[in-house]
Amino acid sequence: MATNKTPEFLPGTLDMLILKTLTRASNHGYGIAQYIQKVSNEALRIGEGSLYPALQRLLVNGWVEAEWGISETGRRVRIYRLTAGGRKQLAREVAEFDYLIAGIARVMEGA
Amino acid sequence: MRLWNRIRFFSARERLDRELADEILAHREMLEERYTREGMTPREAREAAVRQFGSDLSSREQSREEWGFGWLDTVLRDCGFAVRLIRHRPMLTLAAVLTVGLGVGANTAVVSVLQTVLLNPLGLRDSGKVLVATVRLEQLQMRQTPTSGVEFRELSTMTDAFSAVAASEGRTWTILTSGEASRLVGRAVTPDFFRVFGERPRAGRFFTPEDRESVVLSHGLWKAQFGGEDTVIGRVMMLDGQPHRIVGVAPASFRFPVDAQAWTPLVLSPARLRERGNNMNLAIFARLKEGVTPAQAEDRVNRYVAALKSPVDGEARAMAKMGYFVDLEPFAGHVAGDLRRPLWLLWASALAVLFNGCATVAALLLSRVAGRKREMAIRLSLGATRLQILRQLLVESLLLGALGGAFGVLVAAGALSLLTRVSIPGRRLLELVTLDSQLMLYGLALALASGLVFGLAPAVQLLRESQSEAIRRGARHGFQNLFVTAQVAAALMLLVGTGLLLRSFWALQQVRPGFDPAHVGTAYFIKPKDDPGFITRLETRLASSPGVQSSALAFPLPFTSGGLTSRFRIKGRERKSGEPEWHGEAYFVSSGYFPTLRIPLVRGRGISPSDEAQAPVICVIDTNFAERFFPGRDPIGQEIAMYRGWARIEGVVGAIRASTLEKATRPVVYYPLVQVPFFPQAAALVRSNQPAGGLIREAVRQTSASTPVFDERDMEDRISESLGIRRVVAVLVCTFGVICLLLATVGLHGVVAQVVSDRTPEIGLRMALGARPEQILAQFLRRGLVYGGIGIVVGLAGASYAQRWLSGMLYEVKPSDPLTFYSASAGVLLILVLAVLWPARRASRIDPQSVLRYE
């Protein structure tokens, strides 16, 4: 099932990363993947096999909206935009993530 | 919001799917562009993009699962996939659909009959609480006979066991509808009759103890004769010319007895309520009191019977000596009567067919496992989960099952319309059998269950084989061997049953009834009242009808209700003490009876036209009677008293089998019809080379216009109807047996063919190393026959266990008849050898060169 060879992130974090990416600007799937890869210094390579299911999930939940548009290179692409609901969801996920990271950090320091 | 989105996405899923594909394609192209920019050749770039991207299909599939109603969508997709596969393998599909269809159809049809006849007899409400009381006289070997008034009186007093008890007695009336005389069949019933069955009237009311000249209409009669109008209540209806007030209408659901069109009040006189062992015409129905079990009720009745042996009542003691018992029977058993055992047998056989069908389809699907391994391996490597593949495979077999089920429902509908036309006793009961929506659902559920059953084994095996490096063919063959063994066993059991039934049937057909039924037409009519000359006038008219060789009048006819069992005395002779009462069967016939049926005269004379109503009463006995009561003596001139005082025996005729072919009839006494004019109906018999249909009706009509004629049938039909149920069961079990054998043959053939093709390289190698074709042939023959042989042994064991179900249906054949067992086994073995020989020969003809080259 897992077709991307890079290690999976913590479950659920992909949604958060996508939402976060979209707070900067609306973008298409390829752009989102490239952005995450670039900003993370190539540490996070998103297998597109999981990118598109994640985008569909966000669409169904109403956290992002999509529209067909033209990319910088003049290609017809679907551009995703964050919705108000998506912004709230991102805040929730960031809070949970911080809590989780703090927990992990405490365990690691204690060890 | 979320749900709404889902619905939106789902309804637009085809467009979305296309868009998604476009989007992914664009993504890939952008990746490629980037790689090219970074200095790869276009080809390297494409490969890198594919690598990076992973499986295009799996990402689309997973994306699709995000929108849409996951399961519904996947099921639809699986169905689409299954439909494609099924269309690409028409032969397999056809085989599976036919097999499942036949099995399910046979089952559904038999269960519909079981439902109407046994499980929920006639659709009556809580009939499980209703018991039927019958009398048994051990010494006379009389069972399940109707009762006299006294049993009704006694059961009515057992209020601790029964909440309601009712008696009913057969009635036929002549009614005039638009000038035409017709016959109405019904029952006279005591007031509680409808309460016993817990029924409420459709209109009006049921009987009260005060009712005398009243009538309750059946729903059918009400609709047919009175247009289903409520205003019918209170109107007067003429039954036999007597006015009867219509007080109520029974509900449509109440169809008991099946032939009853109307009910009138039965008023039992005090004298009749005291009568025991005489006038036994009553059917007694009792409703169990709340909280009383049938066993407790039986106990209560047995206590009463036991008390009869105390020396209070002389007549009762005499009855007790004859082995008098009152039996309580569940209502369902009473309704089903002789049909009960055959129905269960048919049900078991139909299940065997379905089971065999499933096994065959499973074997066929298993033999496809090898072919589909690649497909599954590819799908697994493309990221499909095992569960997804299992689901896909099951959807395929369920779809096959559903198709089979749909076909099966058609088969069942066809079978039922045939079945209800079959001429057997209880045919009227079968006319009520319908295929309702509930039973269709049962059929479909059965089909889907079959799909699951025959799909699971191949699916599991396919997954195992696709997943492991080492191919586990062994297990596949294990499954197949098990199926084949079970199939052979089931087929053999059915064939043994068929053999036994067919042998009984043939034996019965060899039985000569002692008279010549060919070319004899018969029909019953109601004797007009107040017309003493009618019988004689009808006799004359029949005799002079065109084409008639000889004719006669009689009551009752052979192979209808049986003679009237009656007590009699012999002049100048007393019963020895301890000897049971003398009983014979009485028939009332005209002078033409013996010549028309060609019953041989043994001594003295037959019945002559001069034995008129006013002449001294005479009788003719059959050889059975003579041997039993006048051994070594001349019965001519002796006198017996059975009806109308002492009657002189004038002749002896050959004994005939008059009620069933299976058993010799009890001693028979024939009286001249005109001398014992007690019965409201009689029958005419006509021997003619031309079809007698209509001839009797015409003669009766010309003699008296207002006389209804009914039950017109040839004598031969009456006899074959008594064999009908045997024929139906024999034919059906035989059909089921042959189908099973066919399925087992296909199964065994498939298995051996599979083994041969799996081991072709090995065989080629062995032949290259010097093995002879005969050795290869023998090897496969042995292999096939081992499993066939195990099947035969299991089948024989099963058959000898199951033969007890048959015992009641056999005639002059022992259930353990060795000939049948041996020949059925031999037949099965022979067919199995042929089934194995075919692929085994192919194995022995393998050309080692070509095989090795192929390797």
Report ipTM (2 d.p.): 0.79
Looking at the fold, whether B177 and B257 belong to one and the same domain comes out as: yes
pLDDT digits (tens, 9 = 90+) for B535-587: 999 999 999 888 899 999 999 899 887 777 788 899 988 887 777 778 888 99
Residues in CB range of A25: below 8 A, 6 or more apart: none
Taking contacts as CB-CB distances below 8 angstroms, the residues of chain A near B387 are: none
> Does residue B94 sit within a domain?
no
Q: pTM for the whole thing?
A: 0.67
Pairing of strands B668-672, B283-288: unpaired
Looking at the fold, whether B230 and B264 belong to one and the same domain comes out as: yes
- Report percent pLDDT > 70 for chain B: 90
The stretch B678-690 carries a mean pLDDT of 88
Residue B119 is encoded by which pair of tokens?
């499980």
Among the listed residues B164, B216, B225, the one whose alpha carbon sits nearest the alpha carbon of residue B186 = B216
Q: Which residues of B34-52 are buried (b: 16+ CB within 10 A; e: fewer)?
A: bbbeeebeeeebbebbeeb
Looking at the fold, whether B187 and B252 belong to one and the same domain comes out as: yes
Looking at the fold, whether B309 and B346 belong to one and the same domain comes out as: no
Among all chains, which residue has been given the structure tokens 């009400």?
A: B222
Please answer yes or no on whether A53 and B66 come within 8 Å at the CB atom.
yes
pLDDT value of residue B656: 92
The C-alpha angle with vertex B792 and arms to B487 and B754, in degrees rounded to 5, equals 50
- The pLDDT confidence band at residue B163, using thresholds 50, 70 and 90, is very high
CA distance linking residue B522 with residue B685, whole number of Å: 5
Which letter does DSSP use for residue B527 in this model?
Answer: P
Looking at the fold, whether B313 and B393 belong to one and the same domain comes out as: no
Please answer yes or no on whether A29 and B5 come within 8 Å at the CB atom.
no
Query: What is the domain range of residue B681?
Result: 528-706
pLDDT value of residue B70: 58
Taking contacts as CB-CB distances below 8 angstroms, the residues of chain A near B33 are: 73
Pairing of strands B646-653, A76-82: unpaired
- Report percent pLDDT > 90 for chain B: 21
**Whether residue B46 has pLDDT greater than 50:** yes
Residues in CB range of B25: below 8 A, 6 or more apart: none
> Does residue B540 sit within a domain?
yes
Rounded to the nearest 10 degrees, the angle between the axes of helix B90-114 and helix B715-758 is 140
Amino acid at B626: A
Please answer yes or no on whether B58 and A61 come within 8 Å at the CB atom.
no
Q: Can you point out the beta strands (E) in B707-852?
A: 709-714
Taking contacts as CB-CB distances below 8 angstroms, the residues of chain B near A68 are: 19
> Does residue B519 sit within a domain?
no
CA distance linking residue B558 with residue B696, whole number of Å: 18
Please answer yes or no on whether B26 and A77 come within 8 Å at the CB atom.
yes
Query: CA-nearest residue of chain A to B383?
Result: A1
> What end-to-end distance do the CA atoms of chain B give, in Å?
62
The stretch A53-73 carries a mean pLDDT of 84
Please answer yes or no on whether A56 and B30 come within 8 Å at the CB atom.
no
Q: From the list B1, B5, B58, which residue is nearest A49 (CB)? A: B58
Domain end marker among B311, B337, B363: B337
pLDDT value of residue B783: 78
What is the number of structural domains in chain B? Answer: 4
pLDDT digits (tens, 9 = 90+) for A79-107: 899 999 999 999 988 888 888 888 888 88
| CATH 1.10.10.10 for the A13-110 domain, yes or no | yes
Domain end marker among B18, B34, B64: B64
**Whether residue B64 has pLDDT greater than 70:** no
pLDDT digits (tens, 9 = 90+) for B197-207: 888 899 999 99
Taking contacts as CB-CB distances below 8 angstroms, the residues of chain B near A85 are: 1
Looking at the fold, whether B739 and B687 belong to one and the same domain comes out as: no
Please answer yes or no on whether A3 and B58 come within 8 Å at the CB atom.
yes
pLDDT digits (tens, 9 = 90+) for B455-502: 887 787 777 766 654 445 556 667 777 877 888 888 888 888 888 888
Among the listed residues B524, B382, B372, B392, the one whose alpha carbon sits nearest the alpha carbon of residue B462 = B372
Any idea where the domains of chain A sit in the sequence?
A: 13-110
Residue A67 Cα, gap to closest chain B Cα (Å): 11
Q: From the list A1, A30, A73, which residue is nearest B27 (CB)? A: A30
Q: Give the torsion through C-alpha atoms of B588, B594, B599, B603, to 10 deg.
A: 90
Q: What is the DSSP string of B233-294?
A: TT-EEEETTEEEEEEEE--TT---STT--EEEE----HHHHH--SSS--BEEEEEEPTT--H
Residue B68 Cα, gap to closest chain A Cα (Å): 9
Looking at the fold, whether B822 and B787 belong to one and the same domain comes out as: yes
Query: CA-nearest residue of chain B to A60?
Result: B5
**Whether residue B652 has pLDDT greater than 90:** yes
Taking contacts as CB-CB distances below 8 angstroms, the residues of chain A near B64 are: 56
CA B802 to chain CA centroid, nearest Å: 18
Task: Please state, rounded to an integer, the average pLDDT across all residues of chain B.
Answer: 83
Residue B534 is encoded by which pair of tokens?
């009618």
Distances (CA, A) of B365 to B151, B198, B400: 63, 52, 11
- The pLDDT confidence band at residue B311, using thresholds 50, 70 and 90, is low
Looking at the fold, whether B766 and B842 belong to one and the same domain comes out as: yes
- What number of CA atoms fall less than 13 Å from residue B516's CA on the CB side? 13
pLDDT value of residue B67: 59
Query: Is there a contact between B286 and B196 (Cβ–Cβ < 8 Å)?
Result: yes
CA distance linking residue B339 with residue B342, whole number of Å: 6
pLDDT value of residue B615: 92
> Does residue B714 sit within a domain?
no
**Whether residue B315 has pLDDT greater than 70:** no
Taking contacts as CB-CB distances below 8 angstroms, the residues of chain A near B24 are: 29, 48, 52
Amino acid at B31: L
The stretch B346-372 carries a mean pLDDT of 79
**Whether residue B262 has pLDDT greater than 90:** yes
Query: CA-nearest residue of chain B to A85?
Result: B1
Please answer yes or no on whether A78 and B30 come within 8 Å at the CB atom.
no
Please answer yes or no on whether B33 and A73 come within 8 Å at the CB atom.
yes
Query: CA-nearest residue of chain A to B62?
Result: A53
Rounded to the nearest 10 degrees, the angle between the axes of helix B715-758 and helix B369-381 is 60
Which letter does DSSP use for residue B121 in this model?
Answer: G
Which letter does DSSP use for residue B630 in this model?
Answer: S
- The pLDDT confidence band at residue A4, using thresholds 50, 70 and 90, is very low
CA distance linking residue B556 with residue B549, whole number of Å: 21
SS3 B621: strand
pLDDT digits (tens, 9 = 90+) for B67-121: 555 566 677 777 887 788 777 777 778 888 888 888 888 888 888 888 877 777 7
Domain end marker among B337, B370, B396: B337
